[in-house]
Chains A and B, each alone.
Chain A
Amino acid sequence: MNSTVFSYFLQSNELSNLIASSSKFLGFDTTSLFAFIIFAIFAGIIVGVMATIGGLGTYAERKISADLQMRMGPNRVGPFGLLQFLADGVKMILKEDIVTSQADKFTFNLAPVLCMVGVFATLAVVPYSSGFMMADLNVGIFYLVGMASLVGVGVFLGGYASNSKWSMLGGMRGASQIISYEIPATITIISIVLLAGGLSMKTLINGQGGAPHEWYIFHNPFAFVGFFVFFISALAETNRAPFDLPEAESELVSGYNTEYTGMKFGLFALAEYIEVFVVCGVAVALFLGGYKVPFDLGSGAILVEKLGMDGMIAQNIGQILELGAFFTKTLALYYVVIWVRWTLPRIRVDQLMTLCWKYLTPIAIFNLLGCAVWMYAFNGKSIFTLIFSAAASHGGH
């Protein structure tokens, strides 16, 4: 059941021949070596793409917020200000790195690295497309939840290490916010796992289809509410407004970020933007059909039939279509995340905790039980399947 990028490419004849010939040449089975090379190449590509998306995310945030506030936003560096994030990156590297005298040096340096490790490790299971997924672990979604909570440890250590009252408060609030909102998110994920019947990302996506009526969000009313519960919880987990108390710019100076300068602050920010993308990707995979393209174009089978193309090339075209579908949906959700930030005011910390434990968690548990009852009562059929079959049986009379 574990399929990876490498197993996708193994389907091509060229790679298999290359492996066979190099095995004969080197004397041992070089499958693992080639797997390592392909994984390393893809990891490099994905890290590069994600870093760019993180950087462009900062640019998009400033442009979209400018649009919402009827001003211009960055438009100096490069065409339409597109290279602004590069300028910001260079600026951050060149800034002096100050470690305050009362800070705990080891933890101070470790916290941004921990955030980065947590976010990058989740990139391994994000389903970009059915073939280009780095590793389709059997426990994909569960592993992702675990790695995302590592970011909470990083936030707390960042706040603690600075030994400043702003940072300490920001760090504690940030960690308690992240762990609290993990519960509704995980329970909502369990209700989707109920519908899909497996934990791996491919199983979750294969249970859905390409057209919107086949997505899990429209499967039953409980999953529909579950999407919003998950989205809100994910927003809170990534410390995005309106839940950005840990880095509240007007309240805590900058929360756990206060004493961080230069590149370390840049690493925190990069980790946050990449995490928003990953969380949007997970929401798309769970509720909005993932990488599935309408009319099942993603598998390339239609291209082979209609145009008689070679199998591997048709599959690659299908993969590119799936990549396009995934990125379109994820970036649309990313836009909604940015939109929400500049529309809603920040909520207080006690409102934050009340929202999580007294509203979202009971709703998530109710959704879980509702999905279970729906699965049992209607044998897992979505509401649209029921309507269509009822209409068909009535039409047949």
Chain B
Amino acid sequence: MFGNTLFLLSAVLTLAGAFAVVYSKNLMHACIYLLASLFGVAGLYACLGADFLAATQLVVYAGGVVILMLFAIMLTGGTGNKVNRYGLEKIPSMGNKKTFMIAGFTAVVTALVLAKITYSVFAAKTVATTGFNSPSVADIGTALATDHILAFEISSVLLLGALIGAAIISRPRKEIHD
């Protein structure tokens, strides 16, 4: 009973947040709606029993990535409403015929692929009766330490690369010679 309520709340939060992000005219507000949407995703993970994943979502996304995006928006000063003097919305790349054709083609292909993947789910009349084995933190830890230890170490190398790349990109260019 509560599981259904939790799922409903999380799903509504995710979808409403996502729609609001797309339709919002203000970039800062869009970031806030993204925060709400990420909260909803964390709730969905909790519904599936992946409690560690839900907590990681909260820590990394809601607590880190959203702040990073907010700082980036402040840095680039992109908070003005993009409206021209007639009050019409000015979107930088409004698009021409080529844009719309490629976008339409991509949408059709994606829809076909998704339909093919989910067809088997809708065609099956029976509900799966296997037991739930939601991995606990200990299971994830054991897996990371034994089966996937290479992935664990390589992820640290990936993070190192990201750190150095971010530091290099955001370093101010030193114009010594003019």
Chain A contact residues, CB within 8 Å of chain B? 1, 32-33, 35-36, 104, 106-107, 110, 137-139, 142-143, 145-150, 152-153, 156-157, 160, 172, 175-176, 179, 182, 198-199
CB pair A172–B74 under 8 Å, yes or no, is yes
CB pair A153–B63 under 8 Å, yes or no, is yes
24 A–B pairs (Cβ distance < 8 Å), ordered by A: A32-B1, A106-B29, A106-B32, A138-B51, A138-B137, A139-B52, A139-B137, A142-B55, A142-B56, A142-B59, A143-B54, A143-B55, A145-B63, A146-B63, A148-B63, A149-B59, A149-B62, A153-B70, A156-B70, A160-B74, A175-B67, A176-B71, A179-B67, A198-B138
CB pair A107–B67 under 8 Å, yes or no, is no
CB pair B58–A152 under 8 Å, yes or no, is no
- B2 an interface residue at 8 Å Cβ cutoff? yes
Cα separation A32 to B70 with both chains bound (whole Å):
40
CB pair B66–A153 under 8 Å, yes or no, is yes
CB pair B52–A107 under 8 Å, yes or no, is no
Of B26, B35, B52, B55, the residue contacting A153 (CB under 8 A) is: B35
CB pair B74–A150 under 8 Å, yes or no, is no
Report the interface size for chain B: residues with CB under 8 A from the other chain.
25
Cβ contacts under 8 Å, B70 to chain A: 153, 156-157, 160, 175
Interface SS of chain A? helix
Shortest Cβ distance from residue B88 to the other chain A in the assembled complex, whole angstroms = 22
CB pair A107–B28 under 8 Å, yes or no, is yes
- B161 an interface residue at 8 Å Cβ cutoff? no
- B142 an interface residue at 8 Å Cβ cutoff? no
Cα separation A160 to B79 with both chains bound (whole Å):
11
Shortest Cβ distance from residue B63 to the other chain A in the assembled complex, whole angstroms = 3
Q: Total A-B pairs in contact (CB under 8 Å)? A: 78
Of A137, A146, A157, the residue contacting B59 (CB under 8 A) is: A146
CB pair B67–A146 under 8 Å, yes or no, is no
CB pair A138–B66 under 8 Å, yes or no, is no
Shortest Cβ distance from residue A368 to the other chain B in the assembled complex, whole angstroms = 14
- B110 an interface residue at 8 Å Cβ cutoff? no
Shortest Cβ distance from residue A185 to the other chain B in the assembled complex, whole angstroms = 12
Cβ contacts under 8 Å, A150 to chain B: 58, 62-63
> Which residue, B1, B35, B52, B63, has most C-beta atoms of chain A within 10 A?
B63
Beyond the given pairs A1-B136, A139-B51, A176-B71, 13 more chain A to chain B contacts, judged by CB atoms under 8 angstroms and listed by A's residue number, are A32-B2, A106-B32, A107-B32, A138-B51, A138-B136, A139-B55, A143-B58, A146-B55, A150-B58, A153-B35, A153-B63, A172-B74, A175-B71
Cα separation A36 to B2 with both chains bound (whole Å):
9
Cα separation A279 to B128 with both chains bound (whole Å):
44
Cα separation A242 to B140 with both chains bound (whole Å):
39
Cβ contacts under 8 Å, B136 to chain A: 1, 138
Which B-chain residue is minimally distant from A137 (CB atoms)?
B51
- B165 an interface residue at 8 Å Cβ cutoff? no
Cβ contacts under 8 Å, A138 to chain B: 51-52, 136-137
Cα separation A62 to B166 with both chains bound (whole Å):
45
Shortest Cβ distance from residue B54 to the other chain A in the assembled complex, whole angstroms = 8
CB pair A156–B67 under 8 Å, yes or no, is yes
CB pair B63–A110 under 8 Å, yes or no, is no
Q: Write out, one digit per residue, whether chain B residues 43-75 have a CB within 8 A of any chain A CB (1) or not (0).
A: 000000001101110110011101100110010
Cβ contacts under 8 Å, A179 to chain B: 63-64, 67
Cβ contacts under 8 Å, B55 to chain A: 137, 139, 142-143, 146
Cβ contacts under 8 Å, A104 to chain B: 26, 28
Q: 6 nearest interchain CB pairs?
A: A149-B63, A146-B58, A146-B59, A139-B55, A142-B55, A143-B55
Cβ contacts under 8 Å, B58 to chain A: 143, 146-147, 150
Which A-chain residue is minimally distant from B60 (CB atoms)?
A146
Q: Please report which residues of chain B, range 1-51, place their CB below 8 angstroms from some CB of chain A when the two chains form the complex.
A: 1-2, 26, 28-29, 32, 35, 51
Cα separation A33 to B1 with both chains bound (whole Å):
9
Shortest Cβ distance from residue B45 to the other chain A in the assembled complex, whole angstroms = 11
Cβ contacts under 8 Å, A157 to chain B: 32, 70
Cα separation A35 to B3 with both chains bound (whole Å):
13
Cβ contacts under 8 Å, B62 to chain A: 146, 149-150, 153
